Amino acid sequence: MGKVIDGKQVAASVIDAVKTATSALEKETGVKTGLAVVIVGDDPASHTYVNSKSKMAKECGFNSIQHTLPAETTQGELAGLVRSLNEDPSIHGILVQLPLPKDLDADAIIQSIRPEKDVDGLHVVNAGKLATGDLATGLISCTPAGAMLLVRSINGEDLSGLNAVVIGRSNLFGKPMAQLLLHANATVAMAHSRTKDLATVARGADILVAAVGRPEMVKADWIKPGATVIDVGINRIAAPERGEGKSRLVGDVAYAEASDLAAAITPVPGGVGPMTIAMLMANTVVAAHRAAGRQPPTF
Ligand code: NAP
């Protein structure tokens, strides 16, 4: 049985460091870190995420602002709100919760956020900085940044000589994750729905990262013995054994069988999931330090 990577514990230590940096910045400069979270529409899952982000921001000692807009909000109204948050010096991070209602152009909104306030790390300027190896001045997408902290907790800072395979090539996760692994000197392959013989590709990985959205797709015989396995998938499946109509969360990895082969593996829930919100807080306090002309903390 491999080591279970405890994302809750790593996330808690990130949050502790965020709290320390937040109060030090306020004490030394009078600047209170500000995070604005914007949600449009009634999607219940998005409301749950946004509420926990706003709550965590308060817990970190931030000035936490939430804008809850109706589903009928127009592109112009939302763009106007982002413009005013861009101009507001008390706000250091702006997060627009995705997905937006289908009539709104989400990409135009995300690209209108000032890169230095783009704490979700989705602006092309931030994606470009990561792609060109500038990890010092941009903001990195929260889930890959968090997953990378988990990899580092097992394999250290320098991944020289290790093969990494990332399954999934989304802009939100797969691409930035591959860039981070590459930056840490891993030899990186990106796999996706067109990859031939995915099991063989995956079996070459010392570090296997799955971000697909298919319940328990990665089986034991996809895993190289001794690998580090990072499961990013969050899939809700029926769990009739828990009672009628009940469900449970599983990852993209068949955890029970994979954990026999992996040296270390993230569970779902409790692995990568808690890291996302922690890294959002980390990005926000970093942005506040930069805005105040201070050296930001590193995570
Ligand atoms: P996405 O945009 O839907 O991307 C999925 C990727 O998986 C695509 O690149 C797709 O390939 C690939 N794929 C689909 N079917 C495949 C198959 N049969 N074999 C190999 N590759 C396949 O998803 P995402 O936003 O990256 O998210 C992926 C998963 O991570 C989801 O379960 C999501 O809920 C989870 N997630 C969790 C967190 C968190 O923990 N906080 C954050 C973000 C995402 P193509 O490009 O060829 O279509």
Query: pLDDT of 194-251, one tens digit each?
Result: 999 999 999 999 999 999 999 999 999 999 999 999 999 999 999 999 999 999 999 9
Task: Read off the pLDDT of each residue in 151-157 and give the average, rounded to a whole number.
Answer: 98
Task: Read off the pLDDT of each residue in 98-105 and give the average, rounded to a whole number.
Answer: 96
> Which pLDDT value is given to residue 192?
98
- Among 53, 117, 129, 224, which one carries the catalytic annotation? 53
Question: Which class is 142-274 in CATH?
Answer: alpha beta
- 29-115 — its CATH code? 3.40.50.10860
Closest atom, ligand 1, to C-alpha of 194 = 47
Query: pLDDT of 165-187, one tens digit each?
Result: 999 999 999 999 999 999 999 99
Query: pLDDT of 20-53, one tens digit each?
Result: 999 999 999 999 999 999 999 999 999 999 999 9
> Which pLDDT value is given to residue 136?
93
Is 142-274 in the same CATH topology as 29-115? Answer: yes
Residue 121 has pLDDT above 90, yes or no: yes
> Which pLDDT value is given to residue 183?
98
* Spacing, Cα 13 to ligand 1 middle (Å): 27
> Which pLDDT value is given to residue 1?
84
> Which pLDDT value is given to residue 67?
97
Query: pLDDT of 63-84, one tens digit each?
Result: 999 999 999 999 999 999 999 9
Q: Give yes or no: 97 in active site.
A: yes
Q: pTM for the full model?
A: 0.97
CA distance 106 to 149: 28
Query: pLDDT of 263-273, one tens digit each?
Result: 999 999 999 99
Report residue 17's pLDDT band, with 50, 70 and 90 as the boundaries: very high
Q: Where are the domains of the chain?
A: 29-115, 142-274
> Which pLDDT value is given to residue 250?
97
> In a mutational test of the pocket of ligand 1, which residue from 167, 170, 231, 283 has the highest number of ligand atoms less than 8 Å from its CB?
170
Closest atom, ligand 1, to C-alpha of 276 = 41
Residue 152 CA to chain centroid, in angstroms? 15
Q: Give yes or no: 111 in active site.
A: no
